[in-house]
Amino acid sequence: MIRVVVVDDEALVRSGFELILNAAGDLRVVATAAGGDAVDTVRRERPDVVLLDIRMPDVDGLTVLRELRSLPEAPTVAMLTTFDTDEYIVTALRSGAAGFLLKDTEPDQLAQLVRTLAAGGVVMSPKASRSMLRAHPGPGGGSASGADRARVERLTGRERDVLVLIAEGLTNADIGTRLHLSAGTVKDHVSAILTKLRVTSRVQAALLAERAGLLEAAGRAEEPR
């Protein structure tokens, strides 16, 4: 059973997510909370996944995120937002969020996205991530800075293959299936990728890969000739 806490300032959003997720046999919303009660609720319930509103009137969602990520057994946290170009999303991803969900996500997709989060995958719209990276290219100026490309070039060919699939949101198990690798081998590749890129999360690795142009290059390679 995947344990979930939903944090949002609107009771209607909380009850809606609770209803949808509890209808899945393997998911259980163990608590919902407004922003001010979020950290205490998570400490008490110890969920696997937290869905956290990025904009709340009583407390800043980014502040809550940082507090949750500092807990001894930090849960996976994904941000909830209304707009896929929310200006705070890149900051949240760099602060350790495992992705983001739009509040109008289709009910039949929501449960699968939470499962992906619980399994260590990245939940992030490729279209939205590209638009955000154009707006927030990060240090170095351009969206494909030389520094980012140099960090990606430290990876082996297989590690670059794995990084592309991380950026597509695949879990370790899915990557293993796609590349015909064992779970242990994929885990080793992911660890090496994070170390070589000098990032601390899969999402940060995905953002760097996008910024370095790796995903665009992978897309061109897959185009039919």
CATH number, position 185: 1.10.10.10
Statement to judge: residues 95 and 167 lie in one domain: no
User: Are residue 18 and residue 40 in the same domain, yes or no?
Assistant: yes
192/128 same-domain check = no
Domain, as residue range, for 52: 2-134
* Per-residue pLDDT tens digits for 210-223: 778 887 665 555 55
CATH of the domain at 86: 3.40.50.2300
Number of domains in the chain: 2
Q: Are residues 130 and 150 in the same domain?
A: no
- Those residues whose C-beta lies under 8 Å from the C-beta of residue 9, and which sit 6 or more positions away, are 34, 35, 53, 56, 57, 58
Global pTM reads 0.71
| Selected residue with higher pLDDT from 90 and 24 | 24
**Which phi and psi angles does 157 have, rounded to 5°?**
-60, -45
User: Which two structure tokens, joined as six digits, stand for 114?
Assistant: 């939470």
CB atoms within 10 A of CB 155: 19
Please name which of 123, 173, 131, 152 lies closest in space to residue 217, comparing C-alpha atoms.
Answer: 152
Which of 171 and 3 is assigned the larger pLDDT?
A: 3
Residues 10 and 110 in one domain: yes
Q: Do 13 and 58 sit in the same domain of this protein?
A: yes
| Residue 156 predicted with pLDDT over 70 | yes
Q: Could you tell me if residue 25 is inside a domain?
A: yes
